[in-house]
Amino acid sequence: GAGVSQSPSNKVTEKGKDVELRCDPISGHTALYWYRQSLGQGLEFLIYFQGNSAPDKSGLPSDRFSAERTGGSVSTLTIQRTQQEDSAVYLCASSLLSSGTIYEQYFGPGTRLTVT
Amino acid sequence: AQKITQTQPGMFVQEKEAVTLDCTYDTSDPSYGLFWYKQPSSGEMIFLIYQGSYDQQNATEGRYSLNFQKARKSANLVISASQLGDSAMYFCAMRERGAGSYQLTFGKGTKLSVIP
């Protein structure tokens, strides 16, 4: 079946503008995750969705970052008033979900965000 | 303290030889899972192998095996019969089940280069 898809693949924006990044998880995967990968910080967790709710937003770096998920499927990560330090690759992942089992996460190809 | 430590920033291996990529972890949670991911230059994170903390046997998946030494808190990835296509970044990651979150914590990665 189809894997995790993300759009756009590349986004160049001016400092101060808002951006929206989209993630379409694997069908049937209840859990969805956003991570950020940058040269200086490695791979950082941002937020986790269980269905449409986000029980863990601990990784969001500031209140300029928000995310939502609708219909238990597509998720959008929004960054308001972008700053140059927001430049990174934003990765989305999805997985099955069970309290008794640890499932592997499957990643999308990422969105490369460049803030000029 | 870092939860996942990968001490080898870069490794070289001759084609058809075996190579071991090191990973040590730090957790007080008795229930956890360890993962290895491959990230080629294209950027996508590819799931390779998983080891649960209660698994009695070392995980294997084709040419990949995980040398799990629980007492030493190490989870080294062994790639047998290296191929040119194995050249990539490799990340070790952990999910702690008691943390109440399903996020993965990643190491900084090892860049593997396979020499013909």
CB contact under 8 A, A42 and B106: yes
CA-nearest of B89, B92, B90, B86 to B104 is B92
Find the mean pLDDT for residues B33-57: 94
Judge residue B47's burial from the number of C-beta atoms within 10 Å of its C-beta, 0-12 exposed, 13-18 middle, 19 or more buried: middle
Find the mean pLDDT for residues B11-31: 96
For the ranges A94-103, B2-11, B85-94, the lowest mean pLDDT is seen at A94-103
Among A9, A104, A111, A113, pick the best mutation site for testing chain B contact (most B Cβ within 10 A). A104
Residue % of chain A over a pLDDT of 70? 99
State the pLDDT at residue A97: 83
Residues of A in contact with B93 (CB under 8 A): 43
| pLDDT per position as a tens digit, A65-100 | 999 999 889 999 999 999 999 999 999 999 998 777
CA-nearest of B58, B61, B60, B116 to B87 is B116
State the pLDDT at residue A84: 96
Amino acid, res. A113: L
